[in-house]
Chain A
Amino acid sequence: MSESHATRERSYVRQFELSIGRVPLRLHVSDDRLFSEASERYRAFASSQNEPFAIYLKNSFSANGGNPEFAYDFEAQQGALRAFAGESQFVGADNPYTLDCLLRILLTWMLLPRSGFFLHAATVIRDGRAYLFTGKSGAGKSTVASLAPEGSVLTDELSLVRREDGVWRAYGTPFWGEFRAGDSNTSAPIAGIFRLVQAENNRVAPLRSVELLRAMIGNVLFFSRQPADSQQLLNIVSRAAQELRGYTLEFRKDRTFWEVLPA
């Protein structure tokens, strides 16, 4: 994080701006150590854009003139968030891990009006296009990422997918498996989404739209329990399933599986 993005708002609150999946955010942090750790973690995603969505890290929620549009209590980490039209408040985000979790949760909601969603998938860039490999834990996402050429992996765990100007793109995120930070704030048009199946031989088979939807929906990261939000998410993922190419990829745990991927 460069100094140009890190300024003192008041004597005890520091702020920095970042952009994840072209969603501009501004964190307001009063804890010096957390500010330093977060600045380092999100360094590659520092950005100054117009009208960033403000996130205030607080000790307790303050009244904000109404009910939150989105609320989530992350009990495992004793963290919670409340999101309003113009800002969000995080409570309990006193360490980088909880902050990271609340950021992910908030973004799942913020991506809805932006035709986006998070998919548990590794993303690898090849010839300028994004190949997404999805599956549950243990399916082989990290394996695929480890077998990709150095510098070609946008994420090994959580892919950010958005439709912009009629094109579905995958974005790099700071969210990697095992809490490793990503370092590529770039994006690429999506070539295809591959449902991973470990096998003895490499083979790729196309999926119908409803099959791709089925492959994706169970791997979408989502937290809102509001019916309207669920409907919006289903609409977005269904559109992705109809407009993107999907495949089942049976693969061996070596580099040879790249040879069967469609161009």
Chain B
Amino acid sequence: MSTTANGALWRKNPILAWREIEGEIVIISPNNSVLHELNETASFVWKRLDGRRSGAEIATGLAAEYDVKPEDALGDIETLVEELASRQLLVPADNPSTERTE
């Protein structure tokens, strides 16, 4: 379940509500009232998971923004994507046109 290892692309689950508060992304699902909170770097990644950008592209931006090695950034992104997908916060980008813009 990687954005990079098998080239899969992911996008935000369109049923979710989310917004940025104090520099961090908060997400709720209409199916329950559980609040998911992302830290600053995870929020950076979340905003770019649009079904079009690859993990490598996002990693390049993350590495530049936070002064980390691109390969480390990519590894962190893969872990994050796996976690978000397991919570159904991300879905495969089979229909990128439905991505909601910020």
A residues with a Cβ closer than 8 A to B are: 208-210, 213-214, 217-218, 220, 222, 224-227, 229-231, 233-235, 238, 241-242
Contacts and interface: CB of A to CB of B under 8 A. Distances in A.
B30 A213 contact: no
A208 B18 contact: no
A225 B35 contact: no
Contact of B26 (A225, A230, A238): A238
A210 B15 CA distance: 22
Interface residues of B, number: 18
Interface in B13-43: 14-19, 21-22, 24, 26, 28-31, 33-35, 37
Contacts of B19: 231, 234-235, 238
23 contacts: A209-B22, A210-B21, A210-B22, A210-B24, A210-B26, A213-B26, A213-B35, A214-B37, A217-B28, A218-B35, A222-B33, A225-B31, A227-B15, A229-B30, A230-B15, A230-B16, A230-B29, A231-B17, A234-B17, A234-B19, A234-B28, A238-B19, A241-B21
A61 to B, nearest CB: 23
Contact of A227 (B17, B33, B34): B17
Contacts of B18: 231, 234
Contact of A209 (B16, B21, B31): B21
Given A224-B30, A230-B28, A234-B28, A217 B35 contact: yes
A214 B30 CA distance: 16
Looking at B15, B30, B34, the one whose CB has the most chain A CB atoms below 10 A away is: B30
A229 B37 CA distance: 20
A241 B35 CA distance: 14
Contacts of B31: 225
Given A213-B35, A217-B35, A230 B22 contact: no
A63 to B, nearest CB: 27
A225 B28 contact: no
B78 to A, nearest CB: 26
A242 B18 CA distance: 15
B31 to A, nearest CB: 7
A229 B16 CA distance: 10
B16 A213 contact: no
Contacts of A226: 30
A230 to B, nearest CB: 4
B14 A208 contact: no
A217, A226, A229, A234: residue with the most chain B Cβ atoms closer than 10 Å: A234
Nearest to A212: B21
A227 to B, nearest CB: 5
